[in-house]
Amino acid sequence: MTFIENSPATSMRQYGCLAANTIFDQHRITPAANEQINHFKKIFLDVLEASLRAEGITNAEQKSECILLVMWGFSSEIRSSKNTRSIRAGRKELAHIFQFLKNESL
């Protein structure tokens, strides 16, 4: 998340995540685009869940869904503020949460 936070002002990242942004425009999205978004979400969740399991973190499925929701919340904040640095405090706390989850599972 640090590389997102430190993106230059001219970066497209200043508008947030394309997939997360589509949530706001759900009524205008074609079924094909919605299918692609759902596919992206599934791939992301599968990779995140596998990563958590590889670290020995329990309840990886539920935790991966929670992490995705938090990350999409970050994206919404970036879209709203048009400034990637707006997630700085949240990013730092998310790092603490990841460390807690890892330690909790040991």
Average pLDDT over residues 23-30: 70
Q: How far is CA 64 from CA 32, 68, 97, in A?
A: 25, 6, 12
Domain range annotation of the chain: 2-105
Of the pLDDT bands very low, low, confident and very high (cuts 50, 70, 90), residue 50 is very high
Residue with tokens 């020995």: 56
Of the pLDDT bands very low, low, confident and very high (cuts 50, 70, 90), residue 54 is very high
Average pLDDT over residues 2-20: 67
106 has a pLDDT exceeding 60: no
Name the percent of the chain lying above pLDDT 70: 77
Whole-prediction pTM value? 0.68
